[in-house]
Amino acid sequence: MSDPAVALLMLGIFIVFIFLGFPIAFTLMAMGLSFGAYAYFDPSSAFWDNRIFYLFTQNTFSVMNNDVLISVPLFLFMGYIIERANILDRLFFSLQIGLRFLPGSMAVAALVTCALFATATGIVGAVVTLMGLIALPAMLKAGYDQKLSSGVITAGGTLGILIPPSILLIVYAATASVSVVKLYAAALIPGFMLAGFYILYVITRAVLNPSLCPKPKDAVEYGIVKSLLLVFQAFVPLAALILAVLGSILFGLATPSEAAAMGALGGIILAVVYKAFTWERLRESVYLTARTSAMVCFLFVGAATFSSVFSYLGGEHVVKDLMLGLDMSPIQFLLLAQLIIFVLGWPLEWSEIIIIFVPIFLPLLPYFGVDPILFGILIAINLQTSFLTPPMAMSAYYLKGVAPKGLELWTIFKGCFPFVGMVLLTLAITYIYPSVVTYLPDVFFNQAVEIPIDPNDSSVVDPSIFKGM
């Protein structure tokens, strides 16, 4: 069997193990080591002198030494400590009061709360579960439509993997070796555009059919001053923390790691201000941060070892030749890549897709002239559908686990479908008008500086030679 055939066999066995439910990170390590022992086998050397073991230790050191990944545990800690500060119910209540003049005010308040909290935590399961416990019963009690209420929470809870500070974008930046700061800038317009589509959809449905979103009969009327005070107390501190973190990154005042550290400290201060800080909650947040960070790092080590062996055996060239042999246009390549990622989103978490499978496509981007930042944002938008599309819509299962009795899983699925349509609309707009992704990075980071050059001065290098590098 030729080496490329062995590489394809390696990939096929790995996919089988995924569907059998084996732990993915350790499966990657085991397969990388076992097939690497074959790939680097030298009959004149002892087994323990096989170069795969040196490669494995080097990959482990490289992951631990990656400066980009420092921000992952810090942002995770910020999210977990805010999640345990019990401010979500206060936030939802204050927004509900502040937005009560809008049609479908409770659903709009739930969407804004989901978007803000998902942005702060970046953890889809936590946001959907907590909002399923707090907002869903309140909306159903007020007479809101079950499908609409379910769709609002499941869709709103996934926005955190797109809107900065997104953990997904940090992991993609480390995988693709691109700037986290540029990715954050690129994600702002598509992220808020998608959230805006969600809100516009809810308001439109409420206007066209008010019975879907009736005003709560037992709603307590608050004056303008009281309403503003409630919104200020619950909404402004968390929003200010997120804006401070993002602003310090985008305006170059701090690196992503420094901003993440500031956000982690801000999360602790918020918990103290809201009188929700305890040593038990701090311990839980540290434990969950360590567990999630370790999972990401193990995935990086396993994926790096697996991909190194896969590439050494010639598997990467087989995939590249296959894709190039299809003679596709750039848009066709993007559509095929996004379709594959969409299907992978059913059995796999986003972290596994980004770390394991996205590197297969990255070497092909220069051949098709695709900006890796645009590619990353398209993936982040695409993965929204993975959380919302049956049969493996994880957001729906998160919500079903905490939903009141009588709310069927199929009802939740049907509530997700319109929001999937809006994700696809956002994807289409991004394909047709890539400037929605590239505009802010160009404004913030790619402004050209005019430097007068004397053409007769040979000591000065013409900066135009660096264009496109």
Percent of the chain with pLDDT over 70: 92
**Structure confidence at residue 311 (pLDDT):** 83
The answer, yes or no, to whether residue 391 has pLDDT greater than 80, is: no
Q: How far apart are CA 24 and CA 26, in angstroms?
A: 6
For residue 165, whether the previous peptide bond is cis, meaning omega lies within 30 degrees of 0, is yes
Spatial CA neighbour of 171 closest among 319, 330, 292: 292
Rounded to whole angstroms, the Cα distance separating 387 from 398 reads 10
Give residue-wise pLDDT tens across range 433-465.
999 999 988 887 765 433 344 444 443 334 333
Confidence (pLDDT) at 158? 87
pLDDT in tens, 334-355: 888 888 888 887 777 777 788 8
| 213, 144 contact by CB (below 8 A) | yes
Per-residue confidence (pLDDT) for residue 218, from 0 to 100: 52
Question: Is residue 449 in some structural domain?
Answer: no
Q: Is residue 262 part of a domain?
A: yes
469: in domain:
no
What are the pLDDT digits (tens) for 158-178?
888 888 888 888 889 888 888
Question: Is residue 461 in some structural domain?
Answer: no
Q: Is the pTM of this model over 0.85?
A: no
As a whole number of angstroms, the distance between CA 338 and CA 346 comes to 13
Q: What is the mean pLDDT of residues 192-213?
A: 92
**Dist CA 214 CA 433 (whole Å):** 38
Predicted confidence (pLDDT) at residue 257 exceeds the cutoff of 80: yes
> Which pLDDT score, from 0 to 100, does residue 450 have?
38
| Of the listed ranges 82-91, 98-107, 135-144, 409-418, the one predicted with least confidence | 82-91
| Tokens, residue 272 | 């103290």
Mean pLDDT for 135-152 is 88
Q: How far is CA 125 from CA 234, 263, 329, 381, 423, in A?
A: 22, 21, 37, 17, 19
d(CA 298, CA 24): 9
Distance CA 385, CA 416 (A): 9
Could you tell me where the DSSP H helices lie in 251-405? 256-273, 279-312, 315-325, 330-344, 350-352, 358-361, 365-368, 372-388, 394-402
pLDDT at site 449: 38
| Domain of residue 145, residue span | 1-35+53-444
> Does residue 216 carry a pLDDT above 80?
no
pLDDT bucket at 427, cuts 50 / 70 / 90: very high
Place of tokens 């790995």: 14
Round to whole Å and give the CA distance between 396 and 149.
12
- Average pLDDT of 394-402? 85
Question: Is pLDDT of 400 > 70?
Answer: yes
Can you tell me the distance from the alpha carbon of 457 to that of 465, in angstroms, rounded to the nearest whole number?
16
CA–CA separation, 381 and 361 (whole Å): 17
What percent of the chain is predicted at pLDDT more than 90?
A: 14
- The mean per-residue pLDDT over the stretch 27-35 comes to 89
Extract the tokens encoding 362.
């990255």
Does residue 468 belong to any structural domain of this protein? no
Record the tokens describing residue 356, joined without a space.
Answer: 């394991």
Task: Record the tokens describing residue 178, joined without a space.
Answer: 């691109």
Q: Please check whether residue 458 lies inside any domain of the structure.
A: no
The predicted structure's pLDDT at residue 201: 94
Residues 432, 429: Cα–Cα separation, whole Å: 5
Confirm whether 156 is domain-assigned: yes
| Predicted local confidence at residue 390, as pLDDT | 79
Q: Is residue 106 part of a domain?
A: yes
Res 388 pLDDT > 70 = yes
Number of domain units in the chain? 1
Residue 10 has pLDDT above 80, yes or no: yes
